[in-house]
A = this chain, B = another copy of it.
């Protein structure tokens, strides 16, 4: 009766338990304090047990990064659901979601983007990180159809857009900015990005300009 009901401590999902605990200690004590042996200790298994699920410490870190990318992807996707159609609204929601994730998961974001993108990196990791840029591409495409984003190859706008958001998010996450007003900073970045995306003759306020030829 002990084999069926009393599987005693953790079994079936030591892998998941390792990832969960790893994320906790990453958040609470930083990346330097992340050790396989301590993880095993916390979970009450022998120090060699993790090797059944992750061949390497790096393999665990990669898996953690993958979780991070998947969760970031979900967060960004969700940000587009309760928001209006105008491009400015969608971009604002995306930017706020990205920055919110970055400041709420600073150590994880750092880990995600410091993973070596070797050709040999886990395919799932690569897929998860690419999924994110797809979102930016969709956003730009839609903005162009609405005439709120200047025409041109989607990538030539989506990549700068993404790097701007990512740059601000990662700097905001890695320490207080020189400026003491993070909210204003974010609004400035959003406004800057909107200008970078806008058509040559802004359609928003001023109708007295000459229309594009």
Residues of chain A at the chain B interface (Cβ within 8 Å): 30, 110, 113-114, 116-117, 130, 133, 155-157, 159-168, 170-171, 174-179, 184-185, 188-189, 191-193, 195-198, 200-202, 206, 208-210
Contact = CB atoms under 8 A, between A and B. Distances in A.
Copies in the complex: 2
A16 to B, nearest CB: 25
Contacts of A202: 200
Contact of A163 (B110, B164, B195, B196): B164
Given A162-B167, A163-B168, 17 more contacts: A113-B170, A117-B174, A117-B175, A157-B188, A160-B164, A160-B192, A163-B164, A164-B167, A166-B170, A166-B171, A167-B168, A195-B197, A195-B198, A200-B206, A201-B209, A208-B210, A210-B210
B116 A175 contact: yes
